[in-house]
A and B are shown apart, each in its own frame.
Chain A
Amino acid sequence: MNTSVLQAQSVTKTYGPTVALAGVSLQIAASEAVAVMGASGSGKTTLLHCLAGIIAPDAGAITLHAPQGALRIDTLGPEGRARVRRQHYGFVFQQGLLLPELTAVENVALPLLLDGVERRAAEAEATHWLHTLGLAGMEGRRPGQLSGGQQQRVAVARAQVGAPGVVFADEPTGALDSRTSAQVMQALLQTTTGAGRSLVVVTHDEQVAAVCHRVLHLSDGRIVREQHNTPRPTQVAS
């Protein structure tokens, strides 16, 4: 768990007079799950967006240690950052945000199809992930025919299908009840840290943070506290 896959050095981001991030530095190790917590406006979503290359920081460096070598994300343009997101990252959002017209398997296969993978191969890979996440037999269902928890597991499968090095999750259980939330979190951990990938979760939920290796507490754009856990995945599966 010592190999760093993602590194941020003195990252700063301001929106007009508001300082969202004030010189944040951190490292994310391989197979590590890191929770980012903090009050609204503390800068946690901005941190996730900078680490994920969704936005560029005003100052500081963000380095992704990809299998092909180190990559300075902060120096890339919008197209370059989009490519990094597509090829190296996976995303899970609060509302699954699946395409309602497509079936579960088509939603999961979509990133691969957009990357030019042949449909049969893309759907075979998507089916594998749906089975892994306990959604066997639901491949042909559309999001509207699935429960909230099932939809979120489809979103987890979509995040994993491209074999990303890091998965970013923004309040992935925010719209779910506690039992479903635990199941989704377990699925997320199994398919990320359990498979050698890293996970960065922005959350308000102490239960979600408790199952991560490390919790970063943000306030006024700074990491004010860092807490190391011994995650017990079984506690979230109850």
Chain B
Amino acid sequence: MRTASHLTLLLVRRGSDTSRASLALPVVAFAVVTALALTVLGGARFFFTIEGDLAAFYQSLAALAVTLLVIPLLTLCGSAARLSARRRDQHLSTLRLLGAPTHTLTWMTVLESTLLAAAGTVVGVLGHLALAPLLGLLVFHGERLGAGNILLGAAGTVLCAVALLALAAISSLLGLRGVTVSPLGVRTRQDVPRMSLVRLVAIGAALGAGLFAGQALQIDQGVVATVAGMVFTFGLTMAVLNLVGPWLLGVVARVQVRRATGRHAAERLLAARTVLDSPKAAWRQVSGVALTSFIAVFAGVGLAVTDAMAGSGASSQEDALLLADLRTGIALTLLISFVTVAASVAVNQAADILDRRELFASLERMGMPLLGMDRARRRAVLSPLRLVSLGSALAAATLIFPLAGIALLTNPLALVTTALLLAAGIALVWLTLLATSPLLARVARES
């Protein structure tokens, strides 16, 4: 174990420039996960400290927002773990060639993942501290939240950090179960255990932990049951979406492959083939937006109708404050959801460029215009993202068609705001993709 620890530290310290860049990616990903997770949990915790008639209602909404954001955050965490696993392939097979036993490889894998996650977590905590004053300016219930109400506190921060580190270690162990390390390389096993059971157990465990935490914190059992019910419902919806989503992306990509003709045929074909190559991977990257968009339209329509009704008659100040808070909550949830997706996209794209640097360099040598390759790469992310976000929004609008119609007629501004928020989210992901373009150019020219 000591030898493995020394080796791991040596390999992390003595990397080439490219491998250092590769090491930086999981660190950045874990930093984003930590900063957002701490901020989301800190904000949600605040709502569990308020009192009054609407306390239970606010707590339910906070729990709902956390549930919605857990999916994209876990996706990003998974991306980071997979990313650090990919970095190790060459080291592991070389060590296996030199006769390293399995437990040494396992310990090295867990240690390296955890070290990278720890570095990211430290940066993430600093990010959380930096974000708190900014988010503290948000107004809830007629008053500014204040930075103190966003901060999770020392105990909560340590707990959250430890949980993320444990997740990194478990992810890397699970990742090792899925591969066979041979002296000639690391290859994926064909008999990878199905994840559906693991997911089911994880959902059950999360529900159990929620109920236990509710009892331990002596929160009203009615609220706990409501929240548990909501988490279960959304978990179930997410499970259904996870089944349908990849299939739908695959069907659409197949049509796009057939229709890839004309001036931009190469990039359209390449983008569609990239999605078709692994619809699950394409879905994983954007799935967090699916439920958020669905809820955003649902809530947006609800708010628009309530707003219109309040406008036509007398409404209390309490109702007005509640509506304003709901609007802020929806905008914030959408924003964090899209920021998480954007971070996940940035990390995955940067990793993909670094992994395929030889291929991109060869294409550049052949004189192929990299702009086309770059456009194809962006299209492969944006096409599923547009489909998922707009598809979910349309599905929600169809489900509550009469109400959506009324909202459109009576309070179009509220719906336009929701649409603008979705468009801004897509634009954010597009900007993130653009930000990785210089890396592609550099890798293609320098490799």
Residue contact B266 to A110, C-beta cutoff 8 Å: yes
From known contacts A114-B372, A116-B263, A118-B261, infer whether A82 and B367 are also in contact, taking CB-CB under 8 Å.
yes
- Least distance between A170 CB and chain B CB atoms (Å): 9
Residue contact B362 to A82, C-beta cutoff 8 Å: no
Please report the C-alpha to C-alpha distance between residue A69 and residue B261 in the assembled complex, in whole angstroms. Answer: 33
Residue contact A100 to B266, C-beta cutoff 8 Å: no
Q: Is B359 an interface residue when CB atoms closer than 8 A count as contact? A: yes
Binds A, one of B9-17, B22-30, B82-90, B268-276: B268-276
Residue contact B365 to A54, C-beta cutoff 8 Å: yes
Task: Count contacts on A: residues with CB < 8 A to the other chain.
Answer: 29
Give the chain A neighbours of B362 by CB distance below 8 A.
91, 93, 97
Residue contact B366 to A85, C-beta cutoff 8 Å: yes
Partner of A99, one of B263, B270, B358, B365: B270
- Least distance between A183 CB and chain B CB atoms (Å): 22
From known contacts A85-B367, A89-B367, A91-B362, infer whether A102 and B372 are also in contact, taking CB-CB under 8 Å.
no
What 0/1 pattern do residues 244 to 273 of B give for CB contact below 8 A with A? 000000000000000011110110011001
Q: Is A119 an interface residue when CB atoms closer than 8 A count as contact? A: yes
Q: How many contacts between A and B, using CB within 8 angstroms?
A: 64
Residue contact B365 to A114, C-beta cutoff 8 Å: no
Of the listed residues B262, B269, B274, B367, the one surrounded by the most CB atoms of chain A closer than 10 A to its CB is B367
Interface of B, secondary structure class, is helix
- Least distance between B283 CB and chain A CB atoms (Å): 16
Q: Is B21 an interface residue when CB atoms closer than 8 A count as contact? A: no
Q: Is A95 an interface residue when CB atoms closer than 8 A count as contact? A: yes
What 0/1 pattern do residues 363 to 383 of B give for CB contact below 8 A with A? 111111100100000000000
Given A89-B367, A101-B274, A120-B261, list of 6 further CB < 8 A pairs? Answer: A91-B365, A99-B359, A110-B266, A111-B366, A111-B368, A122-B265
Cβ contacts A to B, 28 pairs, < 8 Å: A54-B365, A82-B364, A82-B369, A84-B367, A85-B366, A86-B366, A86-B369, A89-B366, A93-B362, A95-B358, A97-B362, A99-B273, A99-B359, A100-B277, A101-B273, A102-B270, A102-B273, A106-B273, A111-B366, A113-B265, A113-B266, A113-B269, A114-B266, A114-B369, A116-B263, A119-B261, A119-B265, A119-B269
